[in-house]
Structure 1
Amino acid sequence: MSKTLLYGATKIDETNAAYAAVATIEQFQWKNRVFIVFADADNSRAARQENQLLADRVALDERDMIVLKLVGSSIKPLFGSGDGLNGEALREELEAPETGEFAAFLVGKDGAIKLKASEPISSGELFAIIDSMPVRAGETVRPEK
């Protein structure tokens, strides 16, 4: 499985395009994490990814997730809303693979790409990545009694 975890760097170089905010989905910045699935030609890996994620809608909701699927340049919201997005612009900005190839991207609340995967990722792996992020840690802190 090929995936690049961009979050785990000790020093983040914000001049690197990989860490730049994704402007096409800036409407979600500081509100939602966005997971984008780019469908493959036969849609098998995309369907597997979709099934993995949607099996735990409560966990998606707890993590303020929006899940989108791109088929060609068409955007289909799978969880949450993706109104007003331009699929072609999103594909170009994320430097996603050619139409017909599978890819999955996680964009954090800060608008930066946190994960690029060329194979489906389990929901457990995805949630572990999200739960290790400082913003998420701040969300789960409970006040002392």
Structure 2
Amino acid sequence: MSKTLLYGATKIDETNSAYAPVESLAAFQWKNRVFVLFADSDNARAARQENQLLADRSGLDERDMVVLKVSGGSVRPLFGAADALDGKSIRRELEAPEAGEFAAFLVGKDGTVKLKVSEPVTNGELFAIIDSMPMRAAESMKPDK
């Protein structure tokens, strides 16, 4: 299983594209964390990932998540609101694999990629990564949460 955790670097190299905001998802910056799932509809790993994520809608909502599925050039929101997104731009900017292959990315509220996986991730793993982020810790301290 391949997982790349991009969160947690002690020194951020601003010239490294891994830390550059994803322009095609700029509408979500500072409002939502975005989980982007790449695969065709008949991909078993994508179906497993979808089912796992959507089984805990309250957990997604609590963490201000939007879940998007990119198939070819189309984008379908699985959780949260999203319109007028270009799947090809998102695929290119995230350097996702070719259409039909499974990949998933977590984009933080700052617009940068925090996690890249080539196998489904459990909600526990995903939420642990999010909950360890400084911005999430600050959100948890607010009285309205």
Match of 1:73 in 2: 73
Distance 1:123 1:15 in 2: 31
**Are 1:67 and 1:78, in contact at CA under 8 Å, matched by a contact in 2?**
yes
| TM-score in terms of structure 1 length | 0.95
**Are 2:35 and 2:65, in contact at CA under 8 Å, matched by a contact in 1?**
yes
Match of 1:21 in 2: 21
**Are 1:40 and 1:101, in contact at CA under 8 Å, matched by a contact in 2?**
yes
Match of 1:95 in 2: 95
Match of 1:55 in 2: 55
Match of 1:83 in 2: 83
> 1:12 Cα shift?
1.6
Match of 1:136 in 2: 136
Q: Deviations over 1:10-65 (max 9, x none)?
A: 21212100110000010100000000000157311000000110000000000000
**Are 1:41 and 1:101, in contact at CA under 8 Å, matched by a contact in 2?**
no
State the secondary structure of the residue aligned to 1:24.
helix
Distance 1:131 1:80 in 2: 19
Distance 1:27 1:110 in 2: 11
Match of 2:43 in 1: 43
State the secondary structure of the residue aligned to 1:21.
coil
User: Does residue 1:117 correspond to 2:117, yes or no?
Assistant: yes
> 1:73 Cα shift?
1.0
Amino acid at match of 2:73: S
Amino acid at match of 1:46: A
Q: Where do 4+ consecutive residues of structure 1 move more than 6 Å?
A: none
Q: Which runs of 5+ in 2 are unaligned?
A: none
Amino acid at match of 1:116: K
> 1:132 Cα shift?
0.3
How many aligned positions are there? 143
Instruction: Output the aligned Cα RMSD.
Output: 1.2
State the secondary structure of the residue aligned to 1:47.
helix
What percent identity do the matched residue pairs reach? Answer: 73
| TM-score in terms of structure 2 length | 0.95
